[in-house]
Amino acid sequence: MKCPYCNYKEDKVVDSRSTAEESAVRRRRECLKCGKRFTTYEYIEEVSLMVIKKDGRREPFDRKKILAGIIRACEKRPISIEKMEEIVSWAERAIQKKSDREVSSGRIGELVMEKLKSLDDVAYVRFASVYRQFKDVGQFMVELKDILGKEKPLLRRSIKAR
């Protein structure tokens, strides 16, 4: 494993454990040259999934792209990177369980939105606005009203009072 800080090729494993969903092994490593620590994840290599894009193109499934979208949606929100990675792992497992090795980008987006909606409303709306490509403020407002309609009445009153 190459150190992401100094590119030295030798390190030692400081801690190793399974992730919460037991789909990967998380390892804390320490570079033997610079002494900095970093985390790696080991996943079982599955048969590759293909993603069918909106325009019909097919490309290999890339969990990094999904994580990047979630990170953008969760920017400046109180959500840990570990939680974001859990969402990606959960979505990937769900796809692998029900897929014929091809999945639409729309299905992936729906799975991510399902988890974000229960985690953080702001991150959910940010992700949905990009994923659903809202054409105007009206579409955006429909989504916000849906979220506010499901909030507890006390919370809605406190929001209106501001």
113 falls within a domain: no
6 falls within a domain: yes
Domain count, the chain: 1
> For 65-77, what is each residue's pLDDT tens digit?
999 999 999 999 9
- The answer to pTM > 0.75 is no
Q: Answer yes or no: is pLDDT of 132 > 80.
A: no
Q: Which domain holds residue 6?
A: 1-45
Span 83-101, average pLDDT: 88
Q: Answer yes or no: is pLDDT of 81 > 90.
A: yes
The share of the chain scoring above pLDDT 90, in percent, equals 56
27 falls within a domain: yes
CB 43 within 8 A of CB 60: no
8 falls within a domain: yes
110 falls within a domain: no
26 falls within a domain: yes
Span 23-40, average pLDDT: 94
Which one has a higher pLDDT value, 39 or 48? 39
3-state secondary structure of 39: strand
- Which pLDDT score is estimated for 87? 95
What are the backbone dihedrals phi and psi of residue 154, each rounded to the nearest 5 degrees, phi first? -60, -40
- Which pLDDT score is estimated for 155? 43
Burial class of residue 124 in the structure, from the number of CB atoms within 10 Å of its CB (0-12 exposed, 13-18 middle, 19+ buried):
buried
